[in-house]
Structure 1
Amino acid sequence: MNLKSFYIISRIYFLSFLFLFTSVPVAISQTDSNLIIGEFKVTKVVDGDTFRFDKLDGSARLQFLDTEETFKDDNAAQKTDELRKNWDKYYKTLRDTSKYPVKADSPFGYDSWQWAKEFMKDVDYVRLEKDDLVREKDIFNRWLAYMIVIKNGKEINYNIEVVRQGISPYFNKYGNSKRFHNEFVAAQNYAKENKLGIWSDTVQKYPDYDERLTWWDFRAKQLEDFDSEHKENKYYFNISEINEYKRLENYLGQEVIIFGSIGELLQNRFPYLMTIPVTKENRFEIVIFEEHAGILNEINLQDILENYVYVMGKLEKRKDRYQIILRDKNQIWMDKD
């Protein structure tokens, strides 16, 4: 590790421990027992927001965190030091002309991983909790969880602490926290005001966090708007919720409006498919036959692919997959307010 790398990591450690000894950790209120997944032993710190747990039924993703990516092999430190030499140019080339920020292995991603290992080295067991009872797992069947740890005899919500230390932004790309939204906002403001981690001018991290926050806040508002305007309409379906996806069975052959986030556009052959992932095994398909392929030139495809969209049409099912055939550009739209 070179001197610059050592300085950056040491600075992160110092700020973290300074916080632990000079301020009051986020208070953990009494938790509804239905929201508790259980207590588990941490077996591995994979990176800043990914952990493995002994005897957990499946894996877990820590909610509302998005630490930067990092090399994880035996040569991770060496690769990171090489990346530090030309980081700004590397990221600029990687993003190229993309309207939206991209993810990449970064120097700060590695630093975040080291911070997490140091933070957790005296923690044996943690408590995992859910945000709500509506969406307990993600599309890869991973538990969506908060990780509650005990440091210096006090309970700390690791998710909020990571944001407070500037190790991660408040990641609300898939909606705001139901339980701790205000705490996450306050934690992020604290990190910004004190120029910690990603908000510092001295670390090599993604240079476009302002854009990321604007984008994620927009998506979070899309979800809030759907709930406030359409949640009670039985012909509208937010299929990011598994129970809503299951409800489709009763509406085959009827006109419905699907709300979701497109995962990929498949254009290798006709018909083209835009897919909305629901679970690892299930996806919703928006079908575009060759005679309607021109629709893709009439819509703002990049925005459509990066945000939540509405799709209207007759609900059909083919090979156990629900689908709507797109024949007109007005069948698909995105709220822009």
Structure 2
Amino acid sequence: MRERPAMLTKALLLAGLLCVGVGCDAVETALESVRTWQRSATTTTSKPAEALRPVGELQSAQLREGAVVDGDTLRLVGFDKSVRVLCLDSEEVLRGEELERAEADWEGYQRERKGEGSFTRSYGTFVGNEATAWAREFFKGRSEVYVEYASERHTRDFFGRHLAHIWVKTPAGAWLNFGVEAVHAGWSPYATEYGHCEPYREHFELAQREAQRSARGIWRSGQRGYDDYPQRFEEWAPRARQIGLFRERLAAHPEVIELGTDTAMARLRLRVGERVVVFGSVDRYSPRGRPPKLYLRHRYREELMVQAPGPVRFTDMTKSDFEPREFVYVEGRVEMFRGDPMVVIDAQSFVRSGEDPPELSL
């Protein structure tokens, strides 16, 4: 059972503190959502097959002063960078001039921030402020949390932040997963852009269904937040499927290197002059380069260049164009270019879609 709501006097004090730079309406909405979320502990109509509890190794950590960065990011004592909570993608916080602009003309501000193009974007919203206020209330009065990495090889995100589940323990000894609780309260979708969270997937999906059914948080009618979640789910679905296929068939293969993991570049450096298979998402494609080049995402300001020299062309082994964010498998020889690894393809190489994993023998 979840902890009971804080006393109203404490909630009002918190509201007074949070109104600075956040917006009192957003705070009051968030506080009401906390009360609704906590009451819902006794009104859920369905439950997963097993109780939710950690399945991996936990590391105890202390919350820093002002630990909550936003609805899906925390600062912990002893961690060099913030912790990005797995499976969450809460909306961004509105501050300063952006907050003033959004308050004056929400529809105009939203059109401007969404911009043109085929992909959804992240931007500050009033819902983002509410999600942050909710997270602060969730951790109010707590000092200790427990950190669970999902993978020993993938502990950092694109920006170098820690990637982990965050757990807390109630006075009664029950475990609460902050990510599942945030989704259940309606302040984030169950985010699958980087794959499903298999150990807790059932709990996340159930939490999202209940939040949608109860119209909480991001699922409310008329909320001033993202209005394109169906499109976001359409973007995430193929990525989650491709990552799932990779994990199922090739994640443990010694010849396959997954970009974005902590050891990817080191493994490539150790394989200079040898052939490897790389799995990663497209950042950009330069078909008119000399020679043509494909750039795969690894970390911020760090890409892997795939080069097609001489008579070899990318179109000889795959389609003529690559879409940003799509996953591909590239087989080729590792070489060095200006101090960084790159992959050079030849007539024996292949470039395949993430929907079509290669057949490799162990």
Closer, same or farther: CA 266–147 of 1 in aligned 2, 3 Å: farther
Aligned partner of 1:101 among 116, 120, 130? 120
2:87 to 47, 54, 64: 64
Instruction: For residue 9 of structure 1, report the CA deviation from its aligned partner.
Output: 4.1
* AA at the equivalent of 1:148: W
Select the residue among 106, 127, 142 that pairs with 2:161.
142
Percent same amino acid at aligned positions? 22
Aligned equivalents of 2:155, 2:113: Cα separation in 1: 34
| Correspondence for 1:189 among 203, 206, 209 | 209
Equivalent AA in structure 2 for residue 36 of structure 1: L
Structure-1 separation of matches of 2:226 and 2:310 = 40
3-state SS of paired residue (2:59):
strand
Q: CA deviation at 1:7?
A: 4.8
Is the 8 Å Cα contact of residues 131 and 178 (structure 1) preserved in structure 2? no
Q: Which has the higher helix share?
A: 1
Of 180, 194, 203, the residue aligned with 2:200 is 180
| Cα separation, 1, equivalents of 2:203 and 2:283 | 30
Residue in structure 1 matching 2:137, options 104, 111, 118: 118
Change beyond 3 A, Cα 1:205–1:152? farther
Residue 167 (structure 1) shift: 0.6
Out of 188, 198, 219, the position equivalent to 1:168 is 188
Work out whether residues 238 and 245 of structure 1, in 8 Å CA contact, stay in contact via their aligned partners in 2.
no
Which residue of 220, 224, 230 maps to 1:204? Answer: 224
Matched-pair contact (CA < 8 Å) for 2:166–2:178? yes
Provide the TM-score with structure 1 as the length reference: 0.80
Query: CA offset at residue 191 of structure 1?
Result: 1.0
Residue 262 of structure 1: aligned partner: 282
Match in the other structure for 1:14: 32
Structure 1 residues 148, 286: CA separation in 2 closer, same or farther (over 3 Å shift)? same
Q: Corresponding residue for 2:78?
A: 55
Q: Is the 8 A contact 2:33 2:134 kept in 1?
A: no
**How big is the shift at 1:279?**
4.9
Consecutive unaligned residues of structure 2, counting only runs of 5 or more, are 1-18, 357-362
- Equivalent residue for 1:286? 306
Does structure 2 conserve the Cα–Cα contact (< 8 Å) formed by 1:50 and 1:60? yes
Does residue 299 in structure 1 map to residue 320 in structure 2?
yes
Report the CA distance shift for 1:212/1:281 in structure 2 as closer, same or farther (over 3 A). closer
The match for 2:328 is 309
**1:79-130: CA deviation from partner (whole Å, max 9, x where unpaired):** 4253144333433344344111111122211222222223322222222222
User: Equivalent residue of 1:212, what SS?
Assistant: helix
SS in 2 for 1:29: coil
Q: Distance in 2 between matches of 1:52 and 1:162?
A: 17
Secondary structure, in 3 states, of the residue corresponding to 1:113? helix
Structure 1 segments unaligned to the other structure (5+ residues): none
**In 1, are the aligned partners of 2:31 and 2:133 still within 8 Å (CA)?**
no
Check the 8 A contact 2:333/2:345 in 1, yes or no: no
Paired position in structure 2 for 1:318:
337
* In structure 2, C-alpha distance between the alignment counterparts of 1:276 and 1:80, rounded to whole Å: 35
Give the corresponding residue for 1:87. Answer: 106
Report if the CA contact (8 A) 1:277-1:283 is conserved: yes
Residues 262-308 of structure 1: per-residue CA shift (max 9 Å, x gap):
345689x866754434456864222367999997xx6344x2x1222
Considering only aligned residues, what root-mean-square deviation do their CA atoms show, in Å?
A: 3.5
Count residues in correspondence. 323
* Alignment CA distance shift 1:208-1:325 (3 Å): same
Alignment of 1:234-253 (within 5 A): 234-243=254-263, 245-249=265-269, 251-253=271-273
- What's the offset of the Cα at 1:233? 4.8
Does the CA contact (< 8 Å) of 1:101 and 1:212 recur in 2?
A: yes
Separation in structure 2 between the aligned mates of residue 43 and residue 145 of structure 1, nearest angstrom:
20
| Matched residue, 1:29 | 53
Counterparts of 1:290 and 1:95 in 2: how far apart (Å)?
41
Report the AA paired with residue 165 of structure 1.
A
